[in-house]
């Protein structure tokens, strides 16, 4: 499994909003500048996160974006599933029911299921707030993902 640029940038966008959106909406151009990400690329990611229920949009002159939930309620797993789709390490685990004709006798299936479970449990156990708190503990001036 490899997280794409879309997934990494979505996480950076959400972290930026969690950090800078405490008092209201944040303009996408400001996020783009702080994160050194193309505004056009962010504009492709925003609809996915909005449709996934993680963002709120405010239109107009003072418009922008804010988190739809508190940062401690948004997990890295949610963000990556919205932007990446399945986090399964092998395609036979993409669907809730394994349709692989070899699944009954597959000697490696338990390995992949265990890895998939570990990935989901880990990513669902880390919230945006956890990442921000960890960053603040380190006292760093910038964060990179």
Going from N- to C-terminal start, the domains of the chain cover: 5-85+127-138
CA dihedral angle for residue 44, residue 49, residue 55, residue 58, rounded to 10 degrees: 30
- Cα 99 to Cα 77, 90, 94, 95, distances in angstroms: 24, 12, 10, 8
Q: Which of the listed CATH numbers 3.40.630.30, 1.10.287.130, 1.10.10.10, 3.40.190.10 matches domain 5-85+127-138? A: 1.10.10.10
Residue 142, pLDDT score: 57
Q: Decide: residue 42, CB within 10 A, 0-12 exposed, 13-18 middle, 19+ buried.
A: buried
Give CA–CA dist 140/21, Å, rounded.
20
3-state class (DSSP) for residue 67: strand
Residue 25, pLDDT score: 92
Its pTM stands at 0.87
User: Which residues on neighbouring strands pair with residue 56, listed in sequence order?
Assistant: 66
Residue 139, pLDDT score: 66
Grouped pLDDT means (10 residues each) for the chain, 145 residues: 93 96 89 96 96 90 90 97 93 87 90 95 97 79 57
Residues ≥6 apart with Cβ < 8 Å to 41: 9
Residue 40, pLDDT score: 96
Residue 49, pLDDT score: 97
Residue 141, pLDDT score: 54
Residue 128, pLDDT score: 97
Residue 79, pLDDT score: 98
To 5 degrees, how large is the angle CA 32–CA 36–CA 37? 60
> CB–CB of 100/92 below 8 Å?
yes
Residue 140, pLDDT score: 55
The backbone torsions φ and ψ at residue 64, rounded to the nearest 5 degrees and listed phi first, read 170, -155
């Amino acid at each position: 499994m490899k997280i794409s640029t879309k997934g990494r940038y979505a996480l950076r966008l959400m972290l930026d909003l969690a950090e800078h959106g405490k008092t209201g909406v944040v303009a996408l151009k400001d996020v783009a500048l702080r994160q050194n990400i193309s505004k056009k690329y962010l504009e492709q990611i925003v609809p996915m996160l909005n449709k996934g229920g993680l963002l709120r949009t405010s239109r107009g002159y003072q418009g922008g974006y804010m988190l739809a939930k508190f940062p401690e309620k948004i997990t890295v797993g949610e963000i990556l599933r919205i932007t990446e789709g399945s986090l399964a390490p092998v395609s036979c685990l993409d669907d809730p029911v394994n349709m692989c004709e070899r699944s009954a006798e597959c000697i490696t299936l338990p390995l992949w299921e265990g890895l998939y479970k570990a990935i989901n449990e880990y990513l669902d156990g880390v919230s945006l707030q956890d990442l921000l708190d960890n960053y603040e503990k380190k006292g760093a001036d910038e964060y990179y993902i």
